[in-house]
Amino acid sequence: MRAAVLFMLVTSCTWQYDANELPDAAAPDAYQYMPPPQISCAGAPEIGSASCMTGSASTNVYRYFSMGGTHSMCFEQLQKDSAQCSAGCAIETSLMLGSPDVAEIEYFGSAAHVLCAETPEPHIGDACSTTGPAPCLPTRAQVASDGTVTGQSYLACVSGTCQAAAAPPVANYLQACDSQTLATYGMEGVNGTIAYGGKIACLLAWDEASQSVKSGVTRWCVGDWQCPSGSLCDDEVFPAGNTMRAAVCKPGPRGVLTPAMLSP
């Protein structure tokens, strides 16, 4: 039976504002032209982005709000950094987050080089900073010869020193996606990643043996350190020739998505 491949990529942000206090407010489009500040950005939501494509890495944290239509808007740059990767990107991906998830990108908002493949991993006891160019990143998943994940040394910057940390949790990780998502996209032959909401995504894989769809909740990522224990950040579970890339947390090997990795 000829397998069909599904791919839908939507980069989502979590926006927090009170529509009752701000009449005519509309969720800002992060991709539209952003003019110089016209009003104060105090209280506006923070937006964070991190990207590494074709050897060019960038991180960005800013405040942006638009009242919509001809009303005033604001744009305030908080952090920005870029790096050219001599060995290419560790992961080819692009991620945008809104408050409160922007804290994940603020952590390395001044250290775009952590997205480069040649950047060495830090170790316990190394000096670090949560606001400068020396975070305890990147940490990378260790993999066996078959590509499966054998571990990862998660780190956190505590009192200026890299210390061992727990793996980040992802709620309902690899458990079945919601019924509406399955009803909409759970078709015969499906295999790939679809948008889900906020930083969350959904993996779908058709199980030929049971003639059913297996699914698993996951999240978008820019590095292995954002993924739960036993997982890695995979930018290869998309159809060949796709020009828009994003990565998700999943079990190894990279580029492989099977029904056995997911829930019924």
Whole-number pLDDT of residue 68 = 60
Instruction: Please give the residue that has the higher pLDDT: either 207 or 130.
Output: 207
- The Cα 78–Cα 107 span in angstroms is 12
Q: Is pTM beyond 0.85 here?
A: no
pLDDT digits (tens, 9 = 90+) for 187-232: 888 888 877 777 899 999 999 999 999 999 999 999 999 999 999 9
pLDDT at 137 over 80: yes
Residue holding tokens 């942000």? 13
CA angle 200/255/119 to nearest 5° reads: 80
Q: What pLDDT band is residue 16 in, cutting at 50, 70 and 90?
A: very low
Q: What pLDDT band is residue 22 in, cutting at 50, 70 and 90?
A: very low
- The Cα 20–Cα 183 span in angstroms is 34
Instruction: Please give the residue that has the higher pLDDT: either 97 or 198.
Output: 97
The C-alpha R_g of the chain, in whole angstroms, comes to: 19
- The most confident of 2-6, 20-24, 198-202, by mean pLDDT: 198-202
pLDDT at 36 over 60: no
Mean pLDDT of the chain: 82
Question: By mean pLDDT, which of 90-99, 137-146, 223-232 is the weakest?
Answer: 90-99
Q: Is 216 helix (H, G, I), strand (E, B) or coil?
A: strand
